[in-house]
Structure 1
């Protein structure tokens, strides 16, 4: 039989005794208490609360009616209508709990009569021709209904609450006596349960002590220990679990040994060179990558001083513990000597390995071949030098370009002839020289913003449309030279000779216009 079943039977016996004692004394008290609370909380209390709320709303309606008589505003009227609706709600709530009583019918009729009277009173107040006597009569009726309601409801509420409190007090007294009986019976049952627990604890302690002794032996390293199983309860399940734990520990120790061998294989397959050195600088272990890199067999390197493959500061001092220190060696560049005599550039990192007491026992060094990296650095330096040369050439070319632009501007503004640059499509002026502003009388800003036709006399055929057609013709048919009648800013007409030539600047169509004043020649 399971321990759980045995304990269940014992505690079931105690529970049955407590149940028998408590059930008889508590059942009647419970039923009476429930009935009393259902009556008070389910019927009496909600109904009386509804009556009290109705009384409050009635007084509220009377106050609002007086306010409406003084102000005659819609807000107060809406509040009265809302209070009347609330009265109907509380009337319905009271009918749910006291619908069969004579008082309920009386309250329903009073509330309905009160609501009608208030509505009639509001109508009288809204009429300008209403008589003061009618208003006073309706108001007296409202006050009379309120007094009748209060005189009918208040005694009823007081009587109901007094009866309810008496019933609750009687129920409380019966509950007190029942609680005393239950406490006495519970104390007896607890004493019995305590004695039963002492017996069960002694009965269970014997196999548990055996488990304790076995656990100590397992902690001492005896992983092949097996406990005998002599029962079919939870103690036997615990013994089985203990035996499985010992077997699992033994299996885990075997797996740890296998894991150590697995790690050794990983180190042996590393691409980087691995060297384990003693505190005095003697090579203890090397991996296959080290042998392949240097061209030696493992036996030729084991036992050799680190100077055998490194002759720089690290190998000369052999003070590896100081070099590694607390943070170890990180990316230290040295040269390894291969069997062939080649000096191989390497980047080494390392750290000291200590025993459980903190004493250094070895230094683990990992070295990486950086020949490819150094070649890349060399090529990068060459590329950097070439890039600097190219940047210098571009700077010189940019300076020459700026110098050329300055020369162009000086020539552009030094000529006595007016020069204008037009857009090939819109014919608008994009640029002009100083001679153009002097010839036409405009400032540079005015000339750039000036409508294109304003520069011509606009006397046929010297119109803006004709001038635009000549500019487009210079793009399609080639250079154009013609005589034109122009107009200055002050309105003066003068004769000019215009030379047009199409070109492409910055990927856009442009027309260069050279204007020469020929007025004197024209008039001669």
Structure 2
């Protein structure tokens, strides 16, 4: 017989027995509950009405006496209302009471109710007549009726209490009968339950022989396989599913043996790859506990594998807690790449490394381990230090070159200044000897302009060797120094000509700074010399700002007499304006525009990075 058939047969037998037990138990329980509920509903209403009969008779008597005493018409009405309520409660009892003794009490109560109503009506009528005639009511004249009222009310109350007592006795008898019947059902349920338990034990023993014993053999064989005995086989000859399972188990054991050999080979292959790596490989838990290291790590640090396994990675890496990913993210981007740090060897020696780590997840998305790879960069660091030292030496040399160029330009400027002094002295001497003065002002102007041009270029080199990076110049500071030098060169006092600067913090390299500085030198010189003749007062404005698209804008204007309308600054023979055009368009690859409204304004636009 197949296991399925065995299980179904046993299940059906036990289910039938259990179902019979449950049905009988449910029936007995419902019977008891129904009996109690019916008794509660039946006797509850009778008990409530009986109590109300006693209450209404007493209150009807009380309101009657209050009316006779206080003459309040409200009490008169309430007395008749209580009689009516008393009749309603006896009507309820009349429809539910079935016991002969209780019916006798109920009929007596009805008669007494009629009598009580008659007595109350008589007393009230006598009261009303006397009050109308005499204005007072004399109780002594009607003591017989009053005593009759009291006797009637008392008997009604006693009947109500007697009804309550009788109905309670009947309810208790009914409940006792229901309990006896339920006890009979429970005994039957208990007997069938014993039969069901015995049947279940017999079926269990049969299943144990046909199912449990073979399963125990399978379990013992599985334990042997778990302990490494992959050659284990079991011999079960039954023709049910257990026999089929044993055959499949034997084939599985054979496949496991084969797969285990393949896994061992694969593991050895992986071990060879890991240990042949030149870089250090460290596998840690998510908390940084070392679980695996390769041969390169052991050779580099001087530890044995046993000394590292189980230790925190902070033992061998500085700032390890900051280098390991501290949590799993849903996008699996928790990777640290190429961070420079240091190993700490067993001898407490720091070894420079490039460190990378990434989180390894299982197929369910849970963190499994953290894989860390470190590359020894000691030789590279030595090379970098040598390069840095070489760059520092070249930086010092470059500063010295800029300093020497600046000094040489200052020497040239001094020579030009000395030459101008000689020309002035020659004019003075010739005037004394011959009485005539040679007009060399044009020559002095040429020397002055040349000197200022040299100073503008010298100032670029001065700012470069004073800057930090030797590549860029703070041009705002440069324009300020250049303007001061030009005003001093032409002996211009701030009282006559005012200089206004609106210059942004812009950095220029030497290829842009020198032509831009020469342009500013020429434009300020031109304004100082020609824009304000005969001591005329005015202003010179310098605007230098950045624009969109890496463009720069230089604007130099004055509010002087302006250039002649027919003067074309691109074709003039003036060296200064010719230099402005050549430097702006050929050196800076920019555009030059002129505005002659309210003086002279030159607008030059060029790119911040030289093309």
TM-score by length of 2: 0.33
Query: Which has the greater radius of gyration?
Result: 2
TM-score by length of 1: 0.37
